[in-house]
Structure 1
Amino acid sequence: MIRRTALRALTTVAVASAVTLPLIEGARAVAPATAATGAAIKADDDNPFRWMELDGLRADFQFMCPAGHCVGFWSLVLTDDVAQQRFEGGKFFVYAPATGEFSFFLGTDIAVRTVGNARQVRLADTEFMRSHPRVEVRYGAPDQPGRARVVASATTLM
């Protein structure tokens, strides 16, 4: 019982760290008044994905305001034409085919391994993407990634 509670606490800390570090790296803190007014920010220069070849994905800059402290951050989302396709019977997940490793999506401010809706696909784990030459968004059964459909990809340009 104590081991299980300790493991859950450790997992929570690890997930929080995994979400926070990429956001800090790719994010720029802004004043809450700026975010609230929707003032334009020249975020293009900070786009951590500009050196990647994107297929079915696009870079998206948005604000998240946990506990009233607004932060702007970059993430990758599915392009409109991909997101509008019909998907049934599976889940979306992030997969690096070269290593067989999985990453996560950012659901509001929580890291989730899979999502069921194309509009929930939001990749913010810049460290994972930089450490793998190709990262894919797949749809199907995460326990059988080889059989899942590749819906989008991000390839790091060297």
Structure 2
Amino acid sequence: MIRRTALRALTTVAVTAALTLPLIQETQAATPDMAAPAAVTTAATGNSDDDNPFSRMELDGLRADFQFMCPTGHCVGFWSLVLTEDVAQQDFTGGKFFVYAPATGEFGFFLDTDIAVRTVERPGQVRLIGTEFMRSHPRVEIRYGDPGQPDRARVVASATTLV
């Protein structure tokens, strides 16, 4: 139990650091309302595709989404991948969503508000950020089913890095 709690705390710190540092350095100043909720979806207008870290990826069932997150009152903008509307509206029952790299059999994490989680239950919770996991695996898949049996889970979306 203590080990799991420590792992979650470490993962949260790592994801927050991975999100905040590059975004503070790269994000051009936007002055959002400080009373905004923790994560506010915004239109990608004003953000060129050059800023989109996923622009050199082939996306199937996923789309790039730009948001602001204000976890400690300091807002930063960031890009993430979310399910497309047509995929998100499909019927999903009896399993969980998880990120999987089929070439290595490794699992990734979703960003749920400002916490890294291995699985999510609803399509609207599927949110991938540009982590080392995404950069080190040429293809990642969003699968739905039992994470204990990833080969039997249904592939619902994928992101492939173009060379």
TM-score, normalised by the number of residues in structure 1: 0.86
Q: How many Å separate the matches in 2 of 1:103 and 1:129? A: 8
Q: Which residue of 2 aligns with 1:156?
A: 161
Matched, 1:130 2:135: yes
Contact 2:96 2:146 in 1 (8 A): yes
Q: Which residue of 2 aligns with 1:80?
A: 85
Per-residue deviation, 1:18: 3.3
Supply the AA of the counterpart residue of 1:123: L
Matched, 1:143 2:148: yes
Q: Structure 1 residues 41 and 21 mapped into 2: Cα distance closer, same or farther (>3 Å)?
A: same
Q: Structure 1 residues 48 and 117 mapped into 2: Cα distance closer, same or farther (>3 Å)?
A: same
Per-residue deviation, 1:16: 1.8
Q: Which residue of 2 aligns with 1:18?
A: 15
Q: How many Å separate the matches in 2 of 1:146 and 1:55? A: 19
Q: How many Å separate the matches in 1 of 2:156 and 2:3? A: 37
Supply the AA of the counterpart residue of 2:109: F
Alignment of 1:6-85 (within 5 A): 8-9=5-6, 11-26=8-23, 28=27, 30-31=29-30, 34-36=31-33, 41-85=46-90
TM-score, normalised by the number of residues in structure 2: 0.83
User: Residue 85 of structure 1: SS of its match in structure 2?
Assistant: coil
Runs (5+) with no aligned partner, structure 1: none
RMSD: 2.3
Contact 2:111 2:128 in 1 (8 A): yes
Supply the AA of the counterpart residue of 2:81: L
Contact 1:43 1:61 in 2 (8 A): no
Supply the AA of the counterpart residue of 1:49: F
Per-residue deviation, 1:58: 0.3
